[in-house]
Structure 1
Amino acid sequence: MTIIITFDFPGATQAQYDQLTDRMTGGRGLEKASDWPVPGLISHATGPSPTGWFVTDVWESEDAFRQFGEKLAPMLREAGIPETQPTIYPAYKVVTG
Structure 2
Amino acid sequence: MSFVVRFNPQSLTAEQYDETIRRLSDRGFPPEGLEMHVCFGEDGSLLVSEIWSTREQFDAFGERLMPVLAAMGISPGEPTMFEVHNLVVP
- The answer to whether TM tops 0.5 is yes
Moved over 4 A (4+): none
**SS of 2:76 mapped into structure 1:** coil
In 1: Cα distance, 2:69 partner to 2:43 partner: 20
Q: CA deviation at 1:49?
A: 4.8
CA offsets, 1:10-48, max 9 Å, x none? 111010000100000129xxxxxx841x30011111122
More strand by share: 1
Identical amino acids, percent of aligned pairs:
27
> May I ask how many residue pairs the two structures share in their alignment?
90
Alpha-carbon contact 2:12-2:43 (below 8 Å) kept: no
In 2: Cα distance, 1:15 partner to 1:93 partner: 33
In 2: Cα distance, 1:11 partner to 1:42 partner: 26
CA RMSD of aligned residues (A): 2.0
Tell me what 2:13 maps to. 13
Alpha-carbon contact 1:9-1:51 (below 8 Å) kept: no
Alpha-carbon contact 2:10-2:76 (below 8 Å) kept: no
Judged with a 3 Å threshold, the aligned counterparts in structure 2 of structure 1 residues 51 and 26 are, in CA distance, closer, same or farther, namely: closer
Return the TM-score normalized by structure 1: 0.82
Matches within 5 A, 1:6-85: 6-26=6-26, 35-36=29-30, 38-49=31-42, 52-85=45-78
Gaps of 5+ in 2: none
Gaps of 5+ in 1: 28-33
Return the TM-score normalized by structure 2: 0.88
